[in-house]
Chain A
């Protein structure tokens, strides 16, 4: 699987937007971009995924660069409950995926 690169940590003020970047310069044409997050003392949970077009759901938005070598997860209004480790993952046609190191998001009240 292609690798992803994320900043180790980021901070955001509560109720402000957060942009979490991910680089995946070796992405292949069939790789889907997935984002998961892991809150403290919990298993990871799905946030969003996309292939080429930008995507929105109730949790977040995913902006994908035109060349697909990078993507950004956008949380529109950060809350204290959004403090977590956010993982950007590339998935190909197989069952499995492999987590990168992730970004630890701190939300400041």
Chain B
């Protein structure tokens, strides 16, 4: 299984809502990532988890809260988002924590709309 799955595919939420994005992989990867991608722009790195511990936070606002409950799962908890947070949220994973030759496997993303 070389797939990264993300749920839901689409999410519409109000600015006062709390919601969560879920990402799952069963490739035995110990590094997992969240990216944000606005339309016609490249993905921007948000968070990196290595061995289930947060290793990089790219100065992301606290209304985005990542969680890695085990080596296969990665969540992104959303609270009090703004309309400008509407974007495609991509999850990725890779073998080993570190290693510049490691391929990252991406999920199809969750399309988030904040009203």
Contacts and interface: CB of A to CB of B under 8 A. Distances in A.
Nearest to A104: B40
Interface stretch (B11-19, B62-70, B79-87, B94-102): B94-102
B28 interface: no
Interface string B93-114: 0100111110111111100000
B97 A46 contact: no
B101 A99 contact: no
A44 B100 contact: no
Interface centre among B90, B92, B100 (most CB of A within 10 A): B100
B60 to A, nearest CB: 13
Contacts of B107: 43
A101 B108 CA distance: 19
A109 interface: no
B68 to A, nearest CB: 13
Given A43-B109, A44-B106, A49-B101, A96 B33 contact: yes
Contacts of B42: 85, 87, 99-102
Contacts of A94: 56, 98, 100
Nearest to B90: A43
Given A44-B43, A100-B42, A95 B103 contact: no
Interface of B: 4, 31, 33, 42-45, 48, 50, 55-56, 90, 92, 94, 97-101, 103-109
Interface of A: 30-32, 36, 41-46, 49, 51, 85, 87, 91-102
5 contacts: A44-B90, A46-B104, A91-B100, A94-B56, A97-B45
